[in-house]
Amino acid sequence: MNAIVLMALKRPYTFVVLAILILIYGVLAAVRTPTDIFPDIRIPVVAVVWTYNGLTPQGMSGRVIYYYERQLTTTVGNIEHIESQSLYGRGVVKIFFQPGTDVAIAQAQVVAVSQTVLKQMPTGITPPAILSYNASSVPVLALQVSSEHMTGSELYDLASNLIRPSLVAVAGVAIPAPYGGTQSFVEVDLDQHKLLAHGLSAQDVSRALAQQNIVLPAGDQKIGAIDYLVETNASPVNVATFNSLPIKQA
Going residue by residue through the chain, which has 250 residues, state the pLDDT in tens, using 9 for 90 and above: 778 778 877 888 888 888 899 999 888 888 877 665 556 667 788 999 998 888 889 989 999 999 999 999 888 888 999 999 998 888 999 999 988 888 888 889 999 999 989 888 888 888 998 888 766 666 677 788 888 888 888 888 888 888 888 887 777 676 667 777 666 677 889 998 998 998 898 889 988 888 888 777 778 888 999 998 887 777 787 888 888 888 888 7
Give the model's pLDDT for residue 94.
92
> Quick one: DSSP state of residue 129?
E
Under DSSP, is residue 184 helix (H, G, I), strand (E, B) or coil? coil
Q: Quick one: CA dihedral 94, 97, 99, 103, positive or negative?
A: negative
Give the model's pLDDT for residue 39.
62
The overall pTM is greater than 0.85: no
HSE-CB at 161 with a 13 A cutoff on CA atoms is 7
Name every residue whose Cβ is closer than 8 Å to that of residue 229 and which is 6 or more positions away in sequence.
Answer: 220
Give the model's pLDDT for residue 176.
67
